[in-house]
Amino acid sequence: MARSFDVAIIGAGPGGYVAAIRCGQLGLNTVCIDDWKNEKGKPSLGGTCLNVGCIPSKALLESSENYQRARHKFFEHGVNVHGVDIDVGVMQARKNKIVESFTGGIDLLFKKNKVISMHGKGRFVSANETYRIEISDDGKSENVEARHVIVATGSLPRQLPGAPLDRKLVVDSVGALAFTEVPRRLGVIGAGVIGLELGSVWRRLGSEVTLLEALPDFLPVADEQVAKEAQKIFTKQGLDIRTGATVTLAKAGKKRVTVEYEDNKGAQQALECDKLIVAIGRFPNTAALGAETVGLRLDSRGYIEVDARCRSNLPNVFAIGDVVRGPMLAHKASEEGVMAAEIIAGQAGQVNLEAIPWVIYTSPEIAWVGETEQQLKNAGVAYHAGQFPFLANGRARSLGETSGFVKILADAKTDRIVGVHIIGPYASEMIAEAVVALEFSASSEDIARIVHAHPSLSEVFHEAALGVTKRALHI
Ligand code: FAD
Ligand code: AMP
């Protein structure tokens, strides 16, 4: 007899494991099925985000930034350090410890919330009154039944046919998080969020980094002015960013890789490097799910089709996170998980896809929420912009992090804030105030009249709001 549950969740990334906790809190009898194994071959909950994504990348970004500060910034404070070097082994061990403590923490959260955790690959086998799911691992399998299913199987790195991974010299983001030494010359295919963050880590540690990006413009997903500022700053830091460069082939020899690409003038070019990271995006992980067995509808790109409430075409089957439309971000996955759990429990869950913050953890950080200037122009929306530089802020000066600005875009008729774009220190933290502003339909006047602590980076946000009506005080 198959064990029976109210809810079966397939995938324990930030979408699935958060959905499972919320289901447990709501008193639903829940199983969470996950097939992730770490490099030691042990089950490890948390999906891409905890194992090979957000958490390990942020650990390495912090370590490498500290190295960079010690070498190039401490002296400004009169702190003279000599003989600074980097022990990549220690840095990686620290990262692994952080990952282990978080992935282990999910086990505890599951126990606390009475979620049953099962290890193995989950696959739909039949759909009647309930859904039957087979869980298989190492040749063994067992079935469970559930009235509701939440699919949270995430995404996988996209491969470039001409640049097959050998997992030594040519790696994806997983391999790039585990380098045991600093490559002298590092190539990165794709200057998206992941390529930029990983390129930054190894550049700070001493690699000569070249990013090859097929699109003609740098970071087209961000506000144009932010993207331009970022390109200027990153180039000054030493990242060689080549846009309009389409990679067709990468050949790994014994010790180095030769990358062939077409440049922005259509000429054939070659790049030699010691390691190559392929970071050209991710695709939804639906291949082994048995979607066709039960008639779960996918779109032409393999994403599970869902409505605004994450409901699929099958009754009581939800899909959340990277496996459905919308940005591939951990917090978006988690909020969709909470929404699905609450709808299953008869509550009114919702996620506002218009107010999802984006963050790129480069230095300076980049973060935004809502519309960009180019989106507003294309949509013919009249707007006012207020902008303020970090250079004129006391806290930024004392941190020694003065690059960048905050820009607030407000509807010209109503003054409602429709977009906020930040490039600067701790943009990842500062964006929270902007998200609250958007969610509460704040006007720039509302923000302008709120007291912000002094000296703090949040004053830059305040001054940008004042700037919408041309009354910034410190510029
Ligand atoms: P995933 O985290 O991919 O989890 C899916 C889980 O399901 C996995 O454990 C997988 O093994 C399992 N699974 C798949 N199929 C099956 C099956 N059939 N049966 C059982 N289990 C299955 N996002 C941010 O918001 N901030 C960041 O800073 C950030 N940094 C990133 C850095 C890197 C290098 C990468 C690669 C990604 C980063 N992301 C970041 C993106 C983020 O990791 C994803 O958006 C997030 O993990 C998606 O969550 P998910 O639950 O949808 O899927
Ligand atoms: P992201 O989707 O943010 O992870 O970014 C991936 C980036 O890789 C995008 O900006 C793509 O334009 C870029 N890209 C995709 N294919 C290629 C290719 N063959 N050569 C260079 N860049 C590519």
Whole-number pLDDT of residue 1 = 78
CA of 282 to the centre of ligand 2 (A): 10
Closest CA to 237 of 276, 257, 211, 212: 211
Q: What is the CA radius of gyration of the chain?
A: 24
Token pair for residue 174?
Answer: 């997983």
- Tell me if residue 233 falls in helix, strand or coil: helix
Question: Is the CB of 54 within 6 Å of ligand 1?
Answer: yes
H helices then E strands: how many in the chain? 14, 22
* Strand 317-319 relative to strand 140-151, pairing: parallel
Which backbone phi and psi does 127 adopt, to 5 degrees? -135, 115
> 242: which DSSP letter?
E
Residues 39/56, Cβ–Cβ less than 8 Å: no
Closest CA to 133 of 202, 21, 34: 34
CA distance 170 to 256: 9
C-alpha separations of 256 from 180, 269, 275, 452 in Å: 16, 17, 7, 52
21-30 in b/e form (b: 16+ CB < 10 A) is bbbbbbebbb
Active site residue 77: no
Let me know how long the chain is.
Answer: 475
Q: Judging by beta carbons within 10 Å of its beta carbon (0-12, 13-18, 19+), is residue 443 exposed, middle or buried?
A: middle
Token pair for residue 465?
Answer: 């709001």
CA of 106 to the centre of ligand 1 (A): 15
Regarding pTM above 0.85, the answer is yes
Q: How far apart are the first and last CA of the chain?
A: 72
CA of 103 to the centre of ligand 1 (A): 13
Question: Per the residue annotation, which of 72, 82, 148, 454 is the catalytic one?
Answer: 454
> For residue 142, what are the contacts with CB-CB under 8 A and spacing of at least 6?
2, 134, 135
pLDDT below 70 — which residues of the chain? none
* Strand 246-252 relative to strand 140-151, pairing: unpaired
Beta strands in 333-404 (DSSP E): 358-360, 365-370, 383-389
Q: Whose CA is nearest to atom 10 of ligand 2?
A: 192
- Tell me if residue 224 falls in helix, strand or coil: helix
Residue the block writes with tokens 């500062």 = 430
Residue the block writes with tokens 């809502």 = 370
213, 218, 221, 231, best to mutate for ligand 2 pocket (most atoms within 8 Å of CB): 213
Residue 246 Cα: closest atom of ligand 2: 20
CA of 279 to the centre of ligand 2 (A): 7
Question: Is the CB of 187 within 6 Å of ligand 2?
Answer: no
Question: Is the CB of 35 within 6 Å of ligand 1?
Answer: yes
**Cα dihedral: 84, 85, 89, 95 (round 10):** 50
153, 320, 339, best to mutate for ligand 1 pocket (most atoms within 8 Å of CB): 153
